Amino acid sequence: MRLQVFCEDRLGLTRELLDILARRNIDLRGIEIDQVGIIYLNCPEVEFEEFRHLMSEIRLISGVTDVRKIQFLPAEREHRELRALLETLSDPVFSVNLSGKVDMANKAAFRLMGSEESDLIGESANTVFPDFNFTHWLERDNAGQIHRQVVLSGMDYLMEVMPVYVTDSEDKDVLASAVIQLKQVSMNHLPTTLYRTPGEHGFEHLVGQSSKFRSLVNQAKKFAMLDAPLLIQGETGTGKEMLAKACHQRSHRAESPFLLVNCVSMPDDAAETELFGCAPTEGHEGKKGQLEQADGGTVFLYEVGEMSQHLQIKLLRFMQDGTFRRVGEEKEIKVDVRVICSTQKNLSERVTAGQFREDLYYRLNVLSLTVSPLRERPSDVQPLAELFLNQFAAELGQERPMLQQGVLELLNQYSWPGNVRQLRNVLFRAMTQIEEGCLTKDDIQLPETEQSAFLTEETLEGSLDDIMKRYESGILSNLYRSYPSTRKLAKRLSVSHTAVANKLREYSIGKK
């Protein structure tokens, strides 16, 4: 119970209140004293008769004008109001104590970190925000408000650190804690920019938790520090360009340009001018090519396997000594450029078929990385989905939707022939379909594929029965979108209606 005691400002009055509680063996859990003559007591609940006698005895104290039962002490009420206010904020908010530990956070913060309250509370702020030294900041004499740009879970945030000062008995301001608020940095407010890649993406923007992903990133970080040519291979939509940009950002060339040359989209003569530039002619100024503009930086040759034989010869000469000639010019130009290439084609097969020069292949394939398709690393689907939903929510000005049970299982079972790009596009479309802030399985539109669940190391976990159920569930889940009734699906699979109905019920597929 909480009691509010109205009283005069008299020496010893508080002690008399405490003596009454002690005589009645009533534990005191908390006490607050207001400067205007109000004392608040927090005690355990007591029986009605004892409560009635307690109230009478308190009223008999000299100087007490009234006593009443209340629901909350002022500090409790303020704490609850503050907590309610924090929970209404869509931005993640953290409180850090003087020991540099997180002692409070709102739901948005827990969602961002992907952790439970018990895991985050008490964690070192230096661990949660590795790019900022909180210990050093808290030790400063006059810690002031600061702003930093940080990347968490692949997302860009503006981190605002605000010191909390309290006044001590000598009217001096003393640092008591710090409040951290994260505001998402949006590339652009137009939804069309969702499909553009920011220019300065580092490895912290690459998201995944599978062993294949971690191995790839570790190897790429080592290669990033080298100047040798790098060949990145992988299916369409796996993120080869982002990986190339991350390597550039981690290298000593990070402050210099990163320029892309698309070897697919342009005619041969236009591609040659784009890459090497052209000499000035009468009435026309000369043009610097991408190699010349990127001097000191990196040139990324997108889909190098599509390069024509003529361009392959010119590129080979550049790879040998770093020199080239503009189109229509005899003067040689030498630049310091690192070449990173990507391809979704098997270059060694194209060499065998005579479609790609063998000598150029070995010049480009000094260092190589292979990005595994998404179907071979299904454990990366969930963190990528979380990342994309957070991005879309920020871009569209919406709250991040809750996920209906079964959505993640549906996404994990699909084979993703378009890889990460396809996952991103599917979720963007789903974001435009949601109602009441919840993304359901009906919002997910997945084209039917020949094989819905590929057998990989991760999908082969568990017993044979578990593996077969996982595979069977994937097939039924994908086919149900094209045959959305038990009778149609039973006819498609040439089995009985009862058998299909039982399987759909077992795997929670279709309408509940």
The sign one gets for the Cα dihedral 411, 412, 414, 420 is: positive
User: Cα(205)–Cα(219) distance, rounded to whole angstroms?
Assistant: 16
What DSSP designation does 122 have? T
For 2-76, CATH number out of 3.30.70.260, 1.20.1740.10, 3.50.40.10, 3.30.1360.30 equals 3.30.70.260
pLDDT of residue 462: 66
Q: Considering the chain, what is the average pLDDT of its residues?
A: 83
DSSP code per residue over 2-13: EEEEEE---TTH
pLDDT of residue 184: 75
Structure tokens at 120: 């985050």
- SS3 call for 501: helix
Is the pTM higher than 0.85? The answer reads no
95 - beta bridge partners? 104, 179
Contacts of 12 (CB under 8 A, 6+ apart): none
Least confident of 103-107, 197-201, 227-231, 502-506: 197-201
pLDDT of residue 511: 56
- SS3 call for 512: coil
Higher pLDDT, 273 or 265: 273
How sure is the predictor about 482, in pLDDT bands with cuts at 50, 70 and 90?
low
Ramachandran sector of residue 96 (left: φ over 0; alpha: ψ -120 to 50; beta: rest): beta
Question: CATH assignment of 89-184?
Answer: 3.30.450.20
Task: Please say whether the beta carbons of 341 and 230 come within 8 A.
Answer: yes
Given CATH 1.20.120.80, say whether it is the number of domain 203-371. no
Q: In the block, which residue shows the tokens 């119970």?
A: 1
How sure is the predictor about 186, in pLDDT bands with cuts at 50, 70 and 90?
low
pLDDT of residue 75: 83
How sure is the predictor about 461, in pLDDT bands with cuts at 50, 70 and 90?
low
User: Cα(300)–Cα(148) distance, rounded to whole angstroms?
Assistant: 30
Task: Please say whether the beta carbons of 410 and 375 come within 8 A.
Answer: no
Give the residue from 176, 178, 199 showing the smallest Cα distance to 187. 199
Instruction: Return the domain boundaries, the chain.
Output: 2-76, 89-184, 203-371, 376-506
User: Cα(386)–Cα(244) distance, rounded to whole angstroms?
Assistant: 23
Least confident of 47-61, 345-359, 469-483: 469-483
User: Cα(290)–Cα(292) distance, rounded to whole angstroms?
Assistant: 5
How sure is the predictor about 342, in pLDDT bands with cuts at 50, 70 and 90?
very high
Rounded mean pLDDT, 439-458: 66
233 - beta bridge partners? 343, 370
Contacts of 185 (CB under 8 A, 6+ apart): 149, 156, 157, 158
State the pairing for strand pair 402-403/438-439.
parallel
Packing angle of the helix pair 268-276, 309-321 (nearest 10 deg):
20
Q: In the block, which residue shows the tokens 């900022």?
A: 132
pLDDT tens readout for residues 275-285: 899 888 877 78
The CATH fold assigned to 376-506 is Helicase, Ruva Protein; domain 3 (1.10.8)
The pLDDT > 90 percentage for the chain reads 23
Neighbours of 212 (CB within 10 A): 19
pLDDT of residue 453: 44
Contacts of 186 (CB under 8 A, 6+ apart): 394, 395
Greatest mean pLDDT among 179-188, 222-231, 395-404? 222-231
